[in-house]
Amino acid sequence: MKILKLASSYIRQGRVSDAIEAYRNANYPYALRLSQEAVELSLKASLILIGIEYPKIHDVSGILKLYRERFPKWFRSEIDFLAETSSRLAIKREISF
């Protein structure tokens, strides 16, 4: 139950609606930062749910791929896309600061 609460907390912290609002207001660097955080926290929540303690880095795409087989089939089919998205956003996040 504790793991589920932690994962849920990470999902809530990903402020997708704030990212959309920043984008609509042409605040692109902030929209990018919030989007990256939402992806990062969502992927970390996914790793928590399968019992993986992730490294304290922004891009967990390598860990996601490493433990691919632990995820349900429907999720595994999206891992390459999620990993690529995470990597690209992490790189662009650094530039946006």
58 vs 86: CA distance, rounded Å: 8
Output the pLDDT for position 11: 66
User: Could you report the per-residue pLDDT of 22-35, keeping only the tens digit for each?
Assistant: 999 999 999 999 99
83 vs 91: CA distance, rounded Å: 12
The better pLDDT of the pair 83, 12 is held by 83
The domain segmentation of the chain, as residue ranges, is 2-96
Output the pLDDT for position 55: 84
